[in-house]
Amino acid sequence: MTLPAGTDAVRQSLASFRQEREADWKAFEALLARVEKRAPRALSEDELLSLPLLYRSALSSLSVARATSLDSALIAYLEALSLRGYFYLYGARRGLRQRVGDFFLRDWPAAIRDLWRETWVSVGLTVIGAIAAYWLVASDSRWYDAIIAPSLAGGRNPDSSVETLRSVLYDSGGDHFLSGFAAYLFTHNTQVAILAFALGFAFAVPSVLIILMNGCMLGALFQVYAAKGLGFELGGWLSIHGTTELFAIALAGAAGMRIGTRIAFPGELTRMAAAAQAGRVAATAMVGVMIMLLFAGLLEGIGRQTITSDATRYAIGGGMLALWIAYFYLFRMVRHGNG
């Protein structure tokens, strides 16, 4: 051989590097394959304890291989293995039950509290929309058709008789498909709320418009009933589910506004970081909004048609509102440790 002495020694040591550690890599790979398919409970205690050890061993093998070996297939294998291990060990670190618990006890109310400014704006916009529409319809009833599409009005318009209007409020609608109707309302309202949230991305303008429009429809409908002396009754009809539903939609709009304003005015963070931060708060709030809409759908589909007493309707609606406000703003979990 014309080679300088030592080249063969290099070959030998790198071969033994691989031979000595190969068993560990294979064991780590097999364990990962098992825990990725099933819950970690499928592992024995020893296997569970060996997982981080094997991960660190794979990582150090990778560092050694990168520094000394030129076998690109080996390095690619170790990189892929370490990445899988990294995502497993540093990915979702908490169990599902704990995450759900955290959501209800802390994350959800905290996200809503965090959005308090946007929530006030959202509520304000609804009120402004309602007052404006009330005043517009009162001054010229043709505005009604412009605000509420005839297909949505369901025969309720300024020309309807008192009896027609009253029947909508108290007629149970023949009991058909009540819970089906609730499910439909829930899915429909949630889709609207998701839009109010997602469209906020466009610098909050569409969210503002959706919330304003929502308020307008409320005001227009109210004027029609109030003009016939049915304002109080309509209030009951609306409030049984409306306090929950309108609050939820206002929160969805607030979440959308948060995203839009943070993208427009990121402050000290980079635009990307600000968007990501706002997106996460808003997303947590949105899941809460969907839960609220589920309640609203149930109240609307079942409660509103079967409960026809004004007082009961107001009591349920007011009670729900008090419940939400207490839960979001008054009730705070004591934070433990690193909370």
Partner 1 sequence: MATARDPAALIRPLVTPEGVDLRVKLVDAGTRAAAFLLDVVIIVVAAIVVTLVVIFGLGGLGVKEAEPLFIVWMIFIFLLRNAYFIAFEAGRRAATPGKRIVGVRVASRSGAGLTIDQVIARNLMREIEVFLPLSIIAARGGAGVADTLSTIFGLVWALLFSLFLLFNRDRLRIGDLLAGTWVVETPKFKLVEDLSQRQDPIAKRFHFSPAQLDAYGIAELHKLEEVLRRDDYFAMKAVAETIGGKIGAKVEPIDSKAFLTAYYGELRAHLERKLLLGNRKADKYAR
How far apart are CB 17 and partner 1 at their closest, in Å? Answer: 10
Spell 321-336 as b/e; 16+ CB within 10 A means b: beebeeebeeeeeeee
Q: Measured from the CB atom, is 147 or 286 closer to partner 1?
A: 286
For partner 1, the binding residue among 180, 229, 231, 318 (CB under 8 A) is 180
Site for partner 1 in 300-339 (CB under 8 A): none
Give 3-state DSSP helix, strand, coil % of the chain, rounded to 5: 85, 0, 15
For partner 1, the binding residue among 123, 218, 282, 293 (CB under 8 A) is 282
DSSP state of 173: G
Q: Which residues contact 193 (CB under 8 A, 6 or more apart)?
A: 248, 249, 252, 286, 289, 290, 293
113 is an interface residue for partner 1 by CB under 8 A: no
Closest listed residue to residue 185, CA positions, set 245, 260, 252:
245
Q: What are the tokens at 201?
A: 């991305």
Span near partner 1 by CB under 8 A; candidates 139-147, 194-202, 302-310, 327-335: 194-202
Q: Are 189 and 293 in contact (CB under 8 A)?
A: yes
Span near partner 1 by CB under 8 A; candidates 85-93, 125-133, 211-219, 321-329: 85-93
For partner 1, the binding residue among 14, 48, 153, 325 (CB under 8 A) is 14
How far apart are CB 55 and partner 1 at their closest, in Å? Answer: 9
Q: Measured from the CB atom, is 115 or 137 closer to partner 1?
A: 115
For partner 1, the binding residue among 49, 276, 323, 326 (CB under 8 A) is 276
Helices 205-227 and 178-198 sit at what angle, rounded to 10 degrees? 140
Q: Alpha carbon 199 to chain centroid distance?
A: 14
For partner 1, the binding residue among 27, 128, 275, 315 (CB under 8 A) is 275
106 is an interface residue for partner 1 by CB under 8 A: no
Q: Measured from the CB atom, is 33 or 49 closer to partner 1?
A: 33
Site for partner 1 in 47-76 (CB under 8 A): 56, 59, 62-63, 67-74, 76
Q: Measured from the CB atom, is 190 or 243 closer to partner 1?
A: 190
What does the chain come to in residues?
339
Q: Measured from the CB atom, is 3 or 311 closer to partner 1?
A: 3
Alpha helices by DSSP H, 45-115: 45-68, 72-90, 96-102, 108-114
23 is an interface residue for partner 1 by CB under 8 A: no
For partner 1, the binding residue among 79, 114, 145, 233 (CB under 8 A) is 79
197 is an interface residue for partner 1 by CB under 8 A: yes
Alpha helices by DSSP H, 199-306: 205-227, 231-264, 271-298, 304-306
